[in-house]
Chains A and B, each alone.
Chain A
Amino acid sequence: DAGITQSPRHKVTETGTPVTLRCHQTENHRYMYWYRQDPGHGLRLIHYSYGVKDTDKGEVSDGYSVSRSKTEDFLLTLESATSSQTSVYFCAISESGRGRYNEQFFGPGTRLTVL
């Protein structure tokens, strides 16, 4: 498996609290992604990064923000968690954004429950 870790792996929080999930890679890949996975919806892109301090929105970005201050770390923040953000969150990395080397390698996931 690619060198990708996510922390925490499990978290239970209350509505209205801020939450930050961390993704760390040791592959020196340029692209990093945050997805959420919900039954019946597959994987939906929240935000992605194409370099340090370079980020863009995905299809379900409302209520989420990201930051990437170092190549190896990509943070996902829920400013004020809501029950609709209960989900499994996956981080992924890829060497490039398109073309031959854009296959994505996924981290183990973080299960977040918002009560």
Chain B
Amino acid sequence: GQQVMQIPQYQHVQEGEDFTTYCNSSTTLSNIQWYKQRPGGHPVFLIQLVKSGEVKKQKRLTFQFGEAKKNSSLHITATQTTDVGTYFCAGGGGKLIFGQGTELSVKP
């Protein structure tokens, strides 16, 4: 069946450093969504990408959808302690398939 792989599983950074998480699908995706889950919380929707090669920005966060619509990335510039949490990608049309998530910790 369809699989969505996400790397790395963990990332520890110093505050101010950049962070990137990558998402790869075994099949072409109709869209990709990104969610953030704070420690002890629930996943919260960040963004959806639909078009091949699409790039969207939200302040320090940059989201990309690959040309073949099989991969995506989330890049955070100059991380802050408020960025701590687990970032999930999720792909698919009807039933979303979630990646395993990347847990980001930020050292002040």
In the complex, A100→B48 CA distance in Å? 8
**Residues B42 and A106 in contact, CB atoms below 8 Å apart:** yes
Nearest Cβ on chain A to B10's Cβ, whole angstroms:
11
**Contact at B45–A105, with CB atoms within 8 Å?**
yes
Kindly specify which of B53-61, B63-71, B95-103 makes contact with the partner chain: B95-103
Chain B: how many interface residues by the 8 Å CB criterion? Answer: 24
Interface residue? A115 (CB, 8 A): no
* A42 and B42 form a contact (CB under 8 A): no
The answer on a CB contact under 8 Å between B93 and A43 is no
Interface residues of B (CB under 8 A from A): 1, 6, 9, 30-31, 33, 41-45, 48, 50, 88, 90, 93-101
Q: What are 27 A-to-B residue pairs whose CB atoms are below 8 Å?
A: A35-B98, A40-B100, A41-B100, A42-B6, A42-B99, A42-B101, A43-B43, A43-B98, A44-B98, A45-B95, A45-B97, A48-B95, A59-B97, A92-B43, A97-B93, A97-B94, A98-B93, A100-B50, A102-B31, A102-B96, A103-B33, A103-B45, A103-B48, A106-B42, A106-B43, A106-B44, A107-B42
